[in-house]
Structure 1
C-alpha cells in the first residue's frame, strides 16, 4: 500500500523495524544492562575478569531457574511468595534423604514431588477456594520454612557422598568452560520460550492473565491452567534447591531465605507485569542478569551490604516506571 493510498483509506502505516525495536520492552533493559556492564568494567576492573563473570553466571542461574516459574505465575495474574521457602525445603529434604543413604535419583525425584505438592496446594487454594494468591503462598512460605527447620533442627546437613561425586558436578561442575547450573538455566529458558510463544498452552496463559473472564467465556479451563503454573513454580524452586545443595555440598534451613523477593524483582525488572498478561522469557533472562550484575557490582565497589536492598528496590521502581512510560499510562489519564 502506497503512502497516498494509506492516507486515503485512513490506515496507519505499519511501524518499521526501528519502530518495533524502540517499542520493545527488552530494548530498554538490554540498554540498561550494557550501561551497567560498561560502567562496572571501568570503575571495578575485576568485574570484567573471566573468573568473576563465570562466578556471576553460576550465581544467577539459581535465581534464574526459579524466576522462570514465577514469571509463568505472574503472566496469569498471580504471584508465588513461597518459592524461597520451597527452595530451602527442597535443599534440606534432598540432603537429608541422601545423608540417610537414599540414592540421588530417588531422593531428587521425591524432593521434586514434595515441591510439586506445595504448588498443587497453592493452586488449589487459588482456584477452588478462590483465595487471593497472596494468602496461600504466604502461608506455604511459612509452612515450608518451618518444615526445613524441623528437618535440620537448626544444624547443617553435610558429609553425604551420594553415588560418588557425580551429584556434586550438577551444581559445581563445568561443561565447555561454562558452569553447569548456567547451562541448565539456558536450556530451561529455551524450553520456556518455546512453550510460551509457540504452544497453545503458552497462549492460553497470556489469555488468562490478560482477561480471565473472557478466557473463561471462550471455554478455557482457567483453574487447570492456574494450578499448572503454581506446580511449575514450586518444582523449579525445588530444582534450584537441589542444584544449590550439589554446589555447596551441604544444606541448612535458611537456604533460599528472602529469595522470593529477588525472584519477583528479576521478573519485574524483566518486564513481567504484576497485573498479568505480559512478560517474555528473554526479558526474564535479562532481568535476572541485571539483578546479579547489580549485586556483584555493589560488592566489587565496596558498597555496604546493608545498602544493597535499597539499590535493588530502587531498580524495581525505576523498571516499573519506565514500563509505564512505554505504555503511555499517564497520557491516557
Structure 2
C-alpha cells in the first residue's frame, strides 16, 4: 500500500498528511462527489518534471463540467495549479519518481444530492510511483460486473464514487487468482481494465476501443496512439469483441499508474507466445522516454 509523502496541499496550503481530512458530513464523503487526476513526476537529482500536466489539469476541468461542479474552473487557473504542484514536490523533495494525485472535493455539509453552487476544495499529494499492475506479464479475467455506461456515470469524468465499479471488478479478479479485470459494456464489447486502457495487436494493426465505448479517454492512451502513428503503426479505434483478445498477437494496457504493461493471458488463454510482443516493447520504450524528456510534443513541464 502506498502512503502519501509527508506534505500535502489541502484547502489553501501545505499541511502534514494526517491533517488533510474531510468531514464525514461532506458531499465528497457521503456521495463520493469528487473528481481527480493522477500525473507522474520524474525525478533526476534536483530536476523534477511532470508529464502532460496541462492535459491533467484540463481533465480536472472537464470532469467538473460533466458532473456540474461550477466553482473549480473560476478559482483555479492552470498557472495556479502548476505553482501548487511545484510547491508540493519541492516540499517533499522526493529522491525518486512519484505520482501526484490532485482531487477536487465538494466540501458542503449535508447538502442533499445536488452539486451546483456547492463549495469545493483542492487536495494534492505525492506518493511513490509503484505501478498498480504487474509490469512483466499480466493475467486478466473478464469481469462479471459490467462497465457503468455513459448515460449512468460518464467514464470521461474521473469521479471518485464511480470507482466502486472498478473495485468490484478488480477484487473479483484478484479473488479468482488474476491480476486485473476486463470490463465489458452492456452489449458485451470490451471497454477497459479496472483502471487502465487496453490495446490489442492483430498483424501490424494496433486496435483499441474508441472513446464512445464507455472508456476513460486516457491521457496515456492518447500518448500511445500518437507514438504509434509516428512509428508507422496502423491504428484503429473501434468496438472490440472479447473473442478478439483470445486470438490477438499482442495485448497490453496503459495508464498513468500502469505505465505500458504487457498481457500474457486472458481468461486462461495464452496471448501470442506468452511473452511481451514487439509492438508493446517498442511503444513501452518510447513511452518511458517521453515521460522523462519530450521536446517534440511539449509534454513535459518542469517543476524545478
TM range (shorter): under 0.3
Larger Rg: 1
| Structure (1 or 2) with the greater helix fraction | 1
| Structure (1 or 2) with the greater strand fraction | 2
- Give me the TM-score of the superposition, normalised by structure 1: 0.26
